[in-house]
Structure 1
Amino acid sequence: MSRDTSLKKGELTDTYYYILLSLMKPKHGYLIMKSVEEISKNTFSIGPASLYTSIRKLLDAGLIKLIDESSQRKIYMTTDEGVKFLKRDIRKKRRMIEAAEKIFDERGKF
């Protein structure tokens, strides 16, 4: 599923998920990449091209906002709508995990 399609369907790719989570506190691009690695415990990373493409799409969707561009670095933050979107995605992921755990538990393999 393309990133554009996922946002239109109200779903987050892993890249969008980690960027939104990272931007709960204001950050510029390089710090977003580092924060994503930290949040994911180095199991996920985003390169510069993917990051800035995703930032543009998240800005267009109103899920993040540019809060400072006066310095050399643009600073972004998750919007209230982005927080709602993220929370909805987390609830969905929890339900998916619960369903999977139940199936594995029923089979005695979890």
Structure 2
Amino acid sequence: MIEDIETFTGVRLGPGTLYGAIARLEKNELIEPVETSDRRRPYRLTPAGKKFLEESLVQLEKITKTGFQRLAIL
């Protein structure tokens, strides 16, 4: 997961940062663990997590659109 995040963000998270974020997401019922016999512990979005992500992306889209509009004025 650390490598995947680094690939698409360019930022390498430390294990403490990643596991802290996972714990908060799980506590807020935005993700849930998936049963596996593997050592890895995969997660999936819950319906609430999907809704939260969609709302966050819409807000980020508004922010970036405004930013690009303001850059065009300069």
Query: TM-score under structure 2 normalisation?
Result: 0.83
Specify the alignment match of 2:8 in structure 1.
39
Tell me which of 61, 65, 74 is aligned to 1:94: 61
Tell me which of 75, 95, 100 is aligned to 2:42: 75
**1:40-60 Cα shifts (integer Å, max 9, x gaps):** 2xx112111111111111000
Specify the alignment match of 1:9 in structure 2.
none
| Number of corresponding residues | 74
**1:26-75 Cα shifts (integer Å, max 9, x gaps):** xxxxxx111111222xx112111111111111000011101125443322
Structure 1 residues not aligned, in runs of 5+: 1-31
Specify the alignment match of 1:50 in structure 2.
17
Task: Give, as a single letter, the amino acid of the residue that structure 1 aligns with 2:45.
Answer: T
Please report the RMSD computed on the Cα atoms of aligned residues, expressed in angstroms.
Answer: 1.5
Q: Stretches of 4+ moved more than 4 A in 1?
A: none
Identity %: 23
Q: Distance in 2 between matches of 1:79 and 1:101?
A: 32
Q: Does 1:104 align with 2:71?
A: yes
The structure with more helix, counted as a fraction of residues? 2
Select the structure with the greater relative contact order (CA < 8 A; seq sep ≥ 6): 1
